[in-house]
Amino acid sequence: MPSADAPAPTDLVLCVDVGSTFTKATLVDLTSARVVGHAEHRTTIDTDVLDGVDACVAALDAAGVPLLACSSAGGGLRVAVVGNEELVTAEAGRRVALSSGGKVVAVVAAAAGGFGLDDLAQPDVVLLTGGTDGGNTEVILAAAVALVATGWSGPVVVAGNVDATQAVSEVLAGLPVVTADNVVPRIGVLRPEGARAAIREVFLAHVIGGKQLSARDGGAAFVSMVRGATPDVVLTGVEVLAREHAEDVVVVDVGGATTDVHSIVELDPEDGALARDVVAPTAVTRTVEADLGMRWSALTTVEAALRDGPGGPSSSTGLRDLEPAARARAERPSYLPESEGDRDDDEAIARVAIGLALRRHAGRSRVVVGPGGRVIERTGTDLREVGLVVASGGVLRHGRPGVTARVLDGSIGPDLEGGWQLPERPAVVVDADYVLAAVGLLVGEHPEVARRLARTLADGAGDVVRP
């Protein structure tokens, strides 16, 4: 709650994240660029999402305060990628969709043959890619024809060969279409910015209202306050933080349904020259692990650890013992821990989810010698030199003393056995007040406040004490 001498409403902004499980509100003083209040309420998807927002406003006594929001409620932003072939344009499209805040539900390689509506897995938007600028236009045109033939009637973002854009738009006439620059303008180049902005435009224009999360004013009240999909807004906040901190940054956010990892890592030109990457790496990367989470995905988290390795200190016996707790959480996503044993189980699930998510994001790296000489074979994003790790999620914000060290155990520090490119010597901070979402929401209208607020998060970082 703000103090009795809190700033006037005109000096405040309320930044709200309407999440899949909880709605979180952060009250920011624009003058001091500080968080002066925070509130949470379960997301009221069963009634009207603005009911949960109202509860946060009331808890903060913030009636009349300007409000900016982001949302991942109602399944967030589901993106299907249709590209030329799987290893280049479809993979490039997948990366772009993730960086734009979407959960990629399908990747279709049009060159492999026809596809149907079921192959798209019920997305909110289709991202259509294919061809380099000045190259073959036939493939993306054929993909557009095939997309129409499926009966798809939703929005499409076209981000392929610019020479085919007009013809593709004509094929898609009657559908909501937004065009963007080619995500692969030439071989070895990935440019996600235009498509990322276009997907954000589609999310705001077609997806938020289409999900019918609120009925107030015919849905217009909620639509007017939302600035973007939560992961997209958070990634924008991470970009601001990386610039202010002047170091590589990784953010890992463990939620009820997914575990997201965002990273800003300066690319090493020497590594880039040696690497055998099918699609060019980018400094900004986001991955979403839909099978790793604390509630809806708790059981699949344990199953993934049993299948792929725990992603942190654990044993298969211990993981088997965790299955009943994980199943109970998946069956009742609103579950809150009541005993010390419950909290132990929550921490164990979080440790596995974070460990696996970071490993999938970071990948492995090794040097090999082949006919072409010395090259680096790698997957993922090399996080070994990351200077700052930001951890996020209710299990960390509301956990017992020492929870951060316990949950991150096995995910930070040199990996001497598996070759995983995990952060080796980072400072660590928990985003307890949802600062990154607030930074991402504020940077458009209050850029200096956003920068100063990001610095307060970086200034709070410290070393993690190993358990």
pLDDT band at 256 (very low <50, low <70, confident <90, very high): confident
Structure tokens at 335: 């579950």
Q: Do 434 and 304 share a structural domain?
A: yes
pLDDT band at 93 (very low <50, low <70, confident <90, very high): confident
Q: Distance (Å, rounded) from C-alpha 431 to C-alpha 253?
A: 9
CB contact set of 296 (below 8 Å; sequence gap of 6+) = 20, 256, 257, 330, 333
How many other C-beta atoms lie within 10 A of the C-beta of residue 115? 19
pLDDT, tens digit (0-9, with 9 covering 90-100), for 151-175: 999 999 999 999 999 999 999 999 9
In a domain, 316, yes or no: yes
pLDDT, tens digit (0-9, with 9 covering 90-100), for 131-155: 899 998 998 999 999 999 999 999 9
Q: Do 157 and 283 share a structural domain?
A: no
In a domain, 224, yes or no: no
Q: What is the CATH number of the domain that holds 309?
A: 3.30.420
Phi, psi of 33 (to 5 degrees): 55, 45
CB contact set of 145 (below 8 Å; sequence gap of 6+) = 171
Instruction: From 110, 109, 281, 253, select the one nearest 191 (Cα to Cα).
Output: 281
Q: Would the CA dihedral through 419, 420, 426, 429 be positive or negative?
A: negative
What residue numbers bound the domain in which 307 lies? Answer: 233-440
pLDDT, tens digit (0-9, with 9 covering 90-100), for 380-425: 889 999 999 999 999 999 999 999 999 999 999 887 667 899 999 9
Q: Do 424 and 321 share a structural domain?
A: yes
Residues of the chain above pLDDT 70, percent: 91
Q: Do 237 and 128 share a structural domain?
A: no
Q: Do 83 and 197 share a structural domain?
A: yes
Q: Do 396 and 261 share a structural domain?
A: yes
In a domain, 290, yes or no: yes
| Single residue among 172, 207, 242 that ends a domain in this structure | 207
With a cut of 60, say whether residue 278 has pLDDT above it: no
- The DSSP letter of residue 8 is P
Q: Do 260 and 162 share a structural domain?
A: no
Q: Do 288 and 246 share a structural domain?
A: yes
Task: Specify the pLDDT at position 269.
Answer: 54
Q: What is the CATH number of the domain that holds 159?
A: 3.40.50.261
Given a contact cutoff of 8 angstroms between Cβ atoms, the answer to whether 288 and 235 are in contact is no
Question: What is the pTM (predicted TM-score) of this model?
Answer: 0.85
With a cut of 90, say whether residue 239 has pLDDT above it: yes
With a cut of 60, say whether residue 326 has pLDDT above it: yes
Task: Specify the pLDDT at position 276.
Answer: 44
**CA 259 from centre of chain:** 8
In a domain, 67, yes or no: no
Q: Do 257 and 189 share a structural domain?
A: no
